[in-house]
Amino acid sequence: MDFELKEEHKLLVEMTRNFTDNELIPIAPEIDAKEIFPKENLKKMAELGLMAMTVPEDYGGSGMDTVSFALAMMEVGRGCASTAVTMSVTNMVAEGIFRFGNEEQRKKYIPPIATGEYAAASFALTEPWAGSDAGAIKTTAIRDGDYYIINGEKVFITSGAYAGVIMVAAVTDKSKGKHGISVFLVEQDTPGLTIGKAEEKMGQRGSNTVSLVFEDCRVPAENLLGQEGDGFKIMLADLDGGRIGIGSLACGVMKACLEESIKYSKGRVQFGKPIAEFQAIQWMIADMATDLEAAKNMVLRAAWLKDQGVRFTQAASMAKLFATEAANRAAYKAVQIHGGYGYTREFPVERFYRDVRVTTLYEGTSEIQRIVIARNILGKL
């Protein structure tokens, strides 16, 4: 057992940390306030190799391991959760195309994701009637010669208005239930695909969240990812990796909460001394630091298991569950430590509090993570 990071990991953390400090933190408040999609920074991140991190270099990716992806996500999440979620989903799609795609699909779609030619990539599963119950999707894809014709509606799609390519789940055979779902790679400008209005969100306001409407959208048959009927399995398998990304993002925000709380509590004087000298404040800081340590270890272990090529579904769900709930606790405490000022936009903890809320909701709510974990422990009952 070795808790020491490898040299390549340390170098990656240093590079991402510098990028976060110099490029993300300065503009994060404006991105949030004005709901700006951070296109320029995403392009720079692609140039740094952060958008298709785990895809082999032969296919245009960075050829790094999942531990690297998690470490980079933690740094980006520390600076800007909006940018971090965009990075996480884009990496998840790049990896999905590599894992489940054929040679033509890999060669066509991964390089533009990796180089930043595409600002982002999207993963479209959720529908108005199918959130946690993702197997209940109604979007259909009917074969018509060399094409599939897609009809239906997706909601809450991260980066949907900016994605060069979208992984879309649709029903190809209704009689087979979940085994009748397939996945298609749909390009942004495909006729019949309309992008809805962006959601006005509580947090992560610089990330783009839209509905997608498919009306007789003709997608070439060669854009089927994997085999017909494998779609549900593909989307869930890809989400396992995505959960490591969201757990890492949560660790990043938690670290930012801790750093801001330490700084503030040492400077703020009440009753004639810095509030850091009060045990109540010390305990909150100790709890935040302990939660962060536990969350980081869980996320990195899930990433490491994935890199060993063994089953990591349960570890990824546990890491996502713990890290995102802990990050919400940390954001609550950070605002508490800042007192009334923590409730104003003068201090970033107000944004962290809003940004972190959604992490227990997307890519499977905390309740769904518990279902996944319990199922893995108890087996089918």
Ligand X SMILES: Cc1cc2nc3c(=O)[nH]c(=O)nc-3n(C[C@H](O)[C@H](O)[C@H](O)COP(=O)(O)OP(=O)(O)OC[C@H]3O[C@@H](n4cnc5c(N)ncnc54)[C@H](O)[C@@H]3O)c2cc1C
Enumerate the active-site residues.
363
Nearest by Cα to 204 from 17, 35, 19: 35
**Residue 123 sits in the site that holds ligand X (CB under 6 A):** yes
Give 20's DSSP letter.
Answer: I
**Residues 181-220: x/- map of binding to ligand X (CB under 6 A)?**
--------------------x-------x-----------
Stretch that binds ligand X, among 32-40, 96-104, 136-144, 359-367 (CB under 6 A): 359-367
| Residue 97 within binding range of ligand X, rule CB under 6 A | no
Nearer to ligand X among residue 234 and residue 368 (C-beta): 368
SS3 assignment for 308-324: CCCCCHHHHHHHHHHHH
Q: Identify any residues that bridge with 210 across adjacent strands, giving them in sequence order.
A: 157
**158 is an interface residue for ligand X by CB under 6 A:** yes
- Of the two residues 45 and 125, which places its CB atom closer to ligand X in the complex? 125
Distance (Å) of CA 240 to CA 19, 49, 206, 246, 317: 27, 22, 24, 10, 7
Query: Does 313 interact with ligand X (rule: CB under 6 A)?
Result: no
Q: How far is the CB of 29 from ligand X (least distance, A)?
A: 19
Compute the distance between CA of residue 74 and CA of residue 19 in angstroms, rounded to an integer: 12
Instruction: With contacts defined by CB under 6 A, name the span among 34-42, 153-161, 255-263, 341-349 that binds ligand X.
Output: 153-161
Residues 82, 355 contacting (CB under 8 angstroms)? yes
Q: Please say which residue, 121 or 224, places its beta carbon nearer to ligand X.
A: 121
Give the contacts of 131 (CB within 8 A, at least 6 positions apart): none
Q: Which contiguous run of DSSP H or E holds residue 246?
A: helix 231-267
- Per-residue x/- mask for ligand X, residues 73 to 92, rule CB under 6 A? ----------------x---
282: region left, alpha or beta (phi > 0 left; psi from -120 to 50 alpha): alpha
Q: Looking at 65-73, 156-164, 180-188, 241-249, which segment touches ligand X (CB under 6 A)? A: 156-164
Candidate residues 54, 86, 126, 265; the one interacting with ligand X per rule CB under 6 A: 126
Judged by CB under 6 A, the residue of 37, 69, 118, 156 near ligand X is 156
* Residues near ligand X (CB under 6 A), total: 20
Among 22, 102, 132, 194, binds ligand X (CB under 6 A): 132
User: Which one of residues 94, 97, 157, 257 is an interface residue with ligand X (CB under 6 A)?
Assistant: 157
Name, in order, each residue with C-beta under 8 angstroms of 6's C-beta and a sequence gap of 6 or more.
Answer: none
Asked whether position 367 contacts ligand X by CB under 6 A, the answer is yes
**Does 131 participate in binding ligand X (rule CB under 6 A)?**
yes
Identify which of residues 365 and 376 has a Cβ nearer to ligand X in the complex: 365
C-beta separation of 314 from 244 below 8 A: no
Q: How many CA atoms lie within 13 A of 22 on its CB side?
A: 8
Please give the residue whose beta carbon sits closest to ligand X in the complex: 131
CB of 136 closer than 8 Å to CB of 117: no
Among 71, 76, 73, 104, residue whose Cα is nearest residue 91: 73
Interatomic CA distance for residues 361 and 19, integer angstroms: 28
Nearer to ligand X, 16 or 208 (CB): 208
With binding defined as CB under 6 A, does residue 358 bind ligand X? yes
User: Is residue 139 near ligand X by the rule CB under 6 A?
Assistant: no
How far apart are the C-alpha atoms of 220 and 232, rounded to whole Å? 20
Contact 84, 73 (CB under 8 A): yes
Residue 362 interacts with ligand X (CB under 6 A): yes or no: yes
Nearer to ligand X, 264 or 322 (CB): 322
Q: Quick check: 365 binds ligand X (CB under 6 A)?
A: yes
At position 238, the amino acid (one-letter code) is D
Q: Which two tokens stand for residue 184?
A: 């298609």
| Candidate ranges 7-15, 98-106, 140-148, 361-369; the one touching ligand X (CB under 6 A) | 361-369
Distances (CA, A) of 41 to 28, 44, 257, 301: 11, 5, 23, 29
168 lies in the site for ligand X, by CB under 6 A: no
* 136 touches ligand X (CB under 6 A): no
Binding site for ligand X (CB under 6 A): 89, 122-126, 131-132, 156-158, 201, 209, 358, 361-363, 365, 367-368
